[in-house]
Structure 1
Amino acid sequence: MNKGDFAALHDSADPLILFNIWDAGSAKAVAKAGAKAIATGSASLAGSQGYDDGEHIPFARVVDTAKQITEAVDLPISVDIEAGFATNLADLGHNAAALRDVGVIGCNLEDRLIRPGGLRSVDEQAERIATINREGLFVNARTDTFLGPWMAGEDPNRAELVDAAIERASIYRTAGAGCFFIPGLSDPALIARLCEAVELPINVMRLPGMANNAELAKLGVARISYGPGPWRSAMAQIEDAARTVFAT
């Protein structure tokens, strides 16, 4: 499958469901279950190798894991590279090329500043999206407009944040983004408004209490991600099973 074929999977009539994985074994399990594509989650991949999320895992480990995944499953692979593991465009392009060369078809790129926090400027983020796009990867442009407030315990479902996200989406689209990722937003009316206003497929991340996948499709969502949930669930089951064994 090429980049164009992968882009075609992003359709609100039949949204692309990504039950995010973290290694070759979990990729094979999800592929066997009927996935159309495979996507890593940054927290899941890092956590599975003993690292915290936030670009603490060496990028070489990310590439090695991506290579193992592409060799294990015959499906398009998208890799979450957080903010790109690079402070300059040359290194960012090199990182994108490294993933492309091991068979990866797309990546998530977020506009959050990893260490200082806050959002990267729109124009700077557009340059970064364009750099990865030139290396041939499908860019799922993630904005942390909503996730930042959500993680801080604030309500991200606010009209003014939707306005800000719509502005970013327009610029990201011009830069070459193939999809716009809005983790943290969960209000159906606001999701629908954003889907109608943005000329890119919209990707949401499943959150507790969110509308089901069929309802999200009706709102116009074209891609639905499960984020770190599958990994956390799997680790919780392993811990519970181990506790049962050690308690006997």
Structure 2
Amino acid sequence: MDFTELHHQNKPLLIANVWDAGSARAAQRSGYQALGTSSAAIAAMLGYEDGEAMSFDELFYIVTRIKSATCLPLSVDVEAGFGETANEMTTNLKRLAQLGVVGVNLEDSRVVNGVRQLDNAVTFASRLKEIRKQLADENYPLFINVRTDTFLLNHQQALQETLLRGRLYEQSGADGLFVPCLTAENDIETLSREINLPLNIMCMPDLPRFDRLGQLGVNRISMGNFVHSALQLKLENIMQTIQSQQSFAGVVG
């Protein structure tokens, strides 16, 4: 079953979001079908804020190490593409495809002066269409999972804007639609019904159970950086325990 087919199973594809070779190996041992990188987790690991503060070359190196550690299909979160033009973004995507990456997440927002803001939908769709054409012309069959940040940024008409963008992106060559911070069952069901793309949603505190998400039409479930953040909290607790107890008993016992 290839990566595209994994989005059309009887239950949603639960994708393990990883940030290094160790997390990739852990996901493979745990029986996951596919991996996706978390840009926020990788940025945090390297000491950066999220939002393309790291360079593409730094991301590429981490992806190279992840690919060396696992045989699972790997999709890479390329944020806004690490480029200002379709040509620059496509060059980056081709480098990933040549490495064996099967898909990417490409988002329709950018961090400008520390503030994340939505791109103009028509401008983004035009850029997406050109990227898809360039990839097709050179036979790079990457699965482009477009992330729209309408709910994440609390757009006043989030559902309507997502429907508009989803239809536009579908026409422009998207293979999937990723809507982080989407949790309401009515909204999930509406988007699944109205947009003819596999629907990807992300871990959130109020997210329904996975079986219910499948009933609502969700095709893919992501972890975001929540697992990495949980592990970092545990790491801090361990460090504090060693310091306070002046002993390694809680670590090596």
RMSD over aligned CA atoms reads 1.5
Aligned-residue offset at 1:51 = 1.1
Contact 1:129–1:139 under 8 Å retained in 2: no
1:60 to 57, 62, 68: 57
User: 2:153 matched to 1:145?
Assistant: no
Partner Cα separation in structure 2 for residue 62 and residue 177 of structure 1: 23
Which moves more between the two structures, 195-204 or 168-177?
Answer: 168-177
Q: CA deviation at 1:12?
A: 6.0
Mapped to 2, the partners of 1:131 and 1:221 lie a distance apart of 28
Q: Give the match for residue 204 of structure 1.
A: 201
Secondary structure (helix, strand or coil) at the match of 2:196 reads coil
Segments of 5+ residues of structure 1 without an aligned counterpart are: 150-155
Q: Which of the pair has more CA radius of gyration?
A: 2
1:114 Cα deviation after fit: 2.0
Q: Distance in 2 between matches of 1:165 and 1:129?
A: 16
- For residues 61-108 of structure 1, the C-alpha deviation after alignment (integer angstroms, 9 at most, x for no partner) is 111111111111001101111111111111111111111111111111
Aligned twin of 2:41: 44
- For structure 2, the residue ranges without an aligned partner over 5 or more in a row are 246-253
Aligned residues between the structures: 237
Q: Which residue of 1 aligns with 2:24?
A: 27
After TM superposition, what 4+ stretches of structure 1 lie above 2 angstroms from structure 2? 127-136
Larger strand fraction of residues? 2
- For 1:184, the equivalent position in structure 2 comes to 181
Alignment deviations for residues 190-237 of structure 1 (CA, whole Å, 9 cap, x no partner):
111111111001000110021011111110000000101010011111
Pairing of 1:1-248 with structure 2 (within 5 A) = 5-11=2-8, 13-115=10-112, 117-133=116-132, 134-135=134-135, 136=140, 137-149=142-154, 160-248=157-245
TM-score computed with the length of structure 1 as normaliser:
0.91
1:153 counterpart residue number:
none
Contact 2:18 2:37 in 1 (8 A): yes
- Single out whichever of 51-60 and 12-21 deviates more from structure 2: 12-21
**One-letter code of the match for 1:127?**
S
Matched letter for residue 227 of structure 2: P
Q: For 2:193, give the aligned amino acid.
A: E
Once residues 132 and 230 of structure 1 are traced to their aligned partners in structure 2, the CA distance between those partners, rounded to angstroms, is 31
**Identity of paired residues, percent?**
35
**Relative contact order higher in (CA < 8 Å, ≥ 6 apart):** 1
Structure 1 counterpart of 2:173, which letter?
A: G
Measured at CA, do residues 128 and 76 of structure 1 come closer, stay the same or move farther in structure 2, by a change above 3 Å?
Answer: farther
Cα distance in structure 2, aligned partners of 1:15 and 1:206: 13
In structure 2, how many angstroms separate the alpha carbons of the residues matched to 1:132 and 1:49? 28
Contact preservation (8 Å) 2:51, 2:110: no
> How far does residue 175 in structure 1 lie from its aligned partner after superposition?
1.4
Q: Residue 20 of structure 1 aligns to a residue in which SS?
A: strand
Task: Return the alpha-carbon distance in structure 2 between the equivalents of residues 127 and 71 of structure 1.
Answer: 34
Q: Where does residue 250 of structure 2 map in the other structure?
A: none
Letter in 1 for 2:40: A
Aligned partners of 1:69 and 1:103: how far apart in 2?
Answer: 11
